[in-house]
Structure 1
Amino acid sequence: MYSNTPSYFTPKSFILGGAIVAFLLSSSANAVLVHEYSASLDFPGNGSWTDEVGSVNLTFTGGTTSPVDVSGNSSYFSAAYAFGGSITGGSAGTNWNAVAGSSSSYEMWIRPNAIPIGTRQTLLEIGNPFFGMSFSLDTDGSILALLKQGGTNSLPTIVLNTSDVSSLLTSGEFVQVVLTVDKNDPGSGIQTTGTLYVNGGQQASLTFDGDIDLVSSNPGGIARFSYDQMGGAQRDAGNPYSQNTFSNYEGEISLLRLYDNAMSAGEVQAVYDSIAIPEPQTYWIVGCIGALLIVRGMVRRKRS
């Protein structure tokens, strides 16, 4: 049986890693964590994945389920949920729409069984072909994001693709995948920027005119594909991103986080480092942060 404490959450690294994330996120006041799903902290066998920060639990498709022990083959986590067998996805209902309706970020730590062949595999989706967005594993070893522009079929789906990251996806370790959606008003109407990151590094970014619309009936989910619910995927069979080119995700997910704003590149890197950097380096980073705080305090006292 796995421990309820993830392998990266040793008493010291938990405090230090958390301090890094809290400091960097709060100092810029850019993105705030609003939903977190950690397999290493989840209660086994109750058929849902508990939200450790908010109150939106994920309901699994496939009945009562439990995380699997990954402590023997992962340096980062002690448990994960395995999708593709008895678990064929998880649903948040319409409860993520409050986050997705504005600027937001989506972070997942995944370990696929293999690079998908023939059909793409859905990691996360919110909405439907006319209203929504999604990101998936593509058949060429890249990460694919679909952002439906404007909420009507007459406007195109915006496509974001990373480079081939199959070497990371098949390395045997969990990989961080992040999608950020930044909505702003430059004075001439809303512009939206979608950005994809892998293991803390920016891989693709695109800005377009218009919004990504969501309606109250749009459900959200992970590791699942469903016709008429796939955010950004098109219904017409002739489209290269039509719904029949997608399927359920097959592999493990250990951590999922949703943020209420578009994370900056520095924030994405800091969150990745808080998990992936070995503990001695974490000490060094936190030491630097502590020194910075001391210097700031001395400067403030002098000015006062």
Structure 2
Amino acid sequence: MYHPFFRGKQYELLTIRENAPLLARSNFIPIIEPVKEAVGGLDRALSAVRDAGGRAIVIVNPHHGEHGPERLGISTMLRERFSGAGIMPAILLKEDTTVDQAVRCFNRHAHEDVVFIHGGFTQAAALTARLSLDMALIRHVFVDGKAPRLYRRHFTGPFRVLVRDGFEKRKNSAYPAIEAFSDLHVTYPDEGMTGFGDFLTVGDEFSESGGPAYAVVIHLTFINSLEDDTMLIHHFLSHRRDTPTDPAGKFLEALGLLMEALRQPGCPIYETGAVMEFRDLHMRNHFPGLGYAKKLSMQHHIETLAQYLRA
């Protein structure tokens, strides 16, 4: 049903690994685009998913990062380490992907549960003609805004997922207190889909590393039951925003605002495991690092959707 889309950076893979039992219980299937040439972290994350009895989708021809679309390292690893383990290879179809590249990639995995991820590719008719198979047998993931409805008509079947980026990337100091995130968890059947996904509280925009933190923000999503269960995102922003110094102090400022919000009667933020850990950090006056705070934000998002869909 839900397909969180991760780039395979350290804390994203750690989020998958630590939440593998929850992902499996909730029938959530993460999508992973590996971006680091070293695959140890990816191997550990996928092992956790497998051991929890879950499933995952791994892009074998990444667009971002260090691998490159024509290198075979990920395909080899999946075949040698995770064959038959519920780990599905995915072919990413971007604007610059040729039909020949897509066919070569598909042929390497033709006897597996292949997933096509449609992210800007336009030659739908040519691809289906070259593959000469029933597209209803293939799993399809469409990135919203990069796979128009007319294009999607070429790819039918019982597994069609729409992934939408609900996180608008800004300078940290420019985030509003609250803004819309997504309604796709409610409306995906209206789009003719069997599942939905997003890029969590990180967004689709890829960067190798962030710049200096003039401001520190904690991003937490929540369900607004008063507005048709739409999902909103709360940005808790540090008071100081003028210099890149003291990220620890700024994190504690943002964390204090989060604690104030949680004390408000009727606070709509679910009391997830991640929120409990934020409470513990506040009690100990401890800064775990910005990467770890991002991991907790992603974990909270997954837990929030799991609670909502379970209810």
What's the TM-score, normalizing by structure 2?
Answer: 0.32
> Hey, which of these two has a bigger chunk of strand by percent?
1
**Which structure would you say has the larger RCO, counting Cα contacts within 8 Å and 6 or more residues apart?**
1
What's the TM-score, normalizing by structure 1?
Answer: 0.32
> Hey, which of these two has a bigger chunk of helix by percent?
2
